[in-house]
Amino acid sequence: MKIVFMGTPDFAVPSLDILLENGYDVVGVITSTDKWGGRGNKKLLESDVKKYALEKGLNILQPKNLKNAEFQAELRALEADLQIVVAFRMLPESVWNMPPLGTMNLHGSLLPQYRGAAPIHWAVVNGEKETGVTTFLLQHEIDTGDLLFQAKTDIGENETTGELYNRLKMIGADLMLKSVQEIEKGDYQLQAQDDSKVCHAPKIFHQDCWIDFDKTTLEVHNFIRGMSPFPTAWTLLDDEKLKVFKTEKEIIAHSQTPGTIETDGKRFLKIATKDGYINLLDLQLTKRKRMDIKSFLNGYVVKNDRISKTGA
């Protein structure tokens, strides 16, 4: 069976690797175009999938426009039986409908839950106890195709998006292999998604990462771990942007206004919420290194007794 693989970030690499390790003929790898980045935007950056594909000597295509006739002719010439998409971009019908066995997508949620660009982030932010990965066949609307297989996993109460992401990309690779094997044998049944269970996971922008301490302790804690390590929750401490990567929740009755800062200047810095405090454990001020709270307080004196709300 000939396979074309489409993906960009490191989340997709284990899925590509497991296909090669199991002897599948990956005739082409489609990934994003190289971009300038690094300090001063002077370094040409390749996607993680491209780096891996280069190491394995695979045929790589990097189209700017998936509707381009020349690209589609080149893709058609590969004569793939199946296309696989893992963390790529939306495909036009002329591409996803090209191979005889269709195009399969791996999604980082238990569809129809968390359709969209950031399913892992929003599952953590919303305090879900369970999530997983899903394989499905592409249709016209994004993340709406008929389901193939799913694999579930628990979410730890303090687990960050980054930690869950690293687990799901391996769980996803195993599910991807199972799905390809069953498609190859023709031993599978498609299941339509239940639209009554749909919830969405939209793309996250910088302003969406501002921490609202007027919410409950649990909501703030989940929000911070849901944005960690990227794109990272932030607030303003002494009018400087402060990124927060890890916290500890303290649910306790108090009379403080949410956003009030308490610290001994040495070991702890906590911020009042609606029903308790959030202890900051891992943080980073703009233009400074990321550090634990003791190291941070060793070189910084908190000036104000309230978190600024100007970021709202």
Domains of the chain: 2-197 (3.40.50.170), 206-298 (3.10.25.10)
Q: Note the pLDDT tens digit of each residue in 58-85.
A: 999 999 999 999 999 999 999 999 999 9
**What crossing angle do the helices spanning 13-21 and 161-185 adopt, rounded to 10°?**
40
Find out whether 148 and 105 touch, Cβ atoms under 8 Å: no
Question: Which of the 8 DSSP states describes residue 31?
Answer: -
Q: Note the pLDDT tens digit of each residue in 221-260.
A: 999 999 999 999 999 999 999 999 999 999 999 999 999 9
Q: Which of 3, 176, 193 is nearest to 102 (CA)?
A: 3
Q: Would you say residue 118 has pLDDT above 90?
A: yes
Please report how many Cα atoms fall inside a 13 Å half-sphere around the Cα of residue 144, on the Cβ side: 7
Find out whether 120 and 161 touch, Cβ atoms under 8 Å: yes
Alpha-carbon gap, residue 143 to 214, rounded angstroms: 34
pLDDT for position 312: 45
Alpha-carbon gap, residue 181 to 190, rounded angstroms: 15
Find out whether 271 and 259 touch, Cβ atoms under 8 Å: yes
Alpha-carbon gap, residue 193 to 264, rounded angstroms: 53
Alpha-carbon gap, residue 310 to 240, rounded angstroms: 11
This prediction has a pTM of: 0.95
pLDDT for position 141: 84
In what helix (H) or strand (E) does residue 279 lie, and over which residues does it extend? strand 276-285
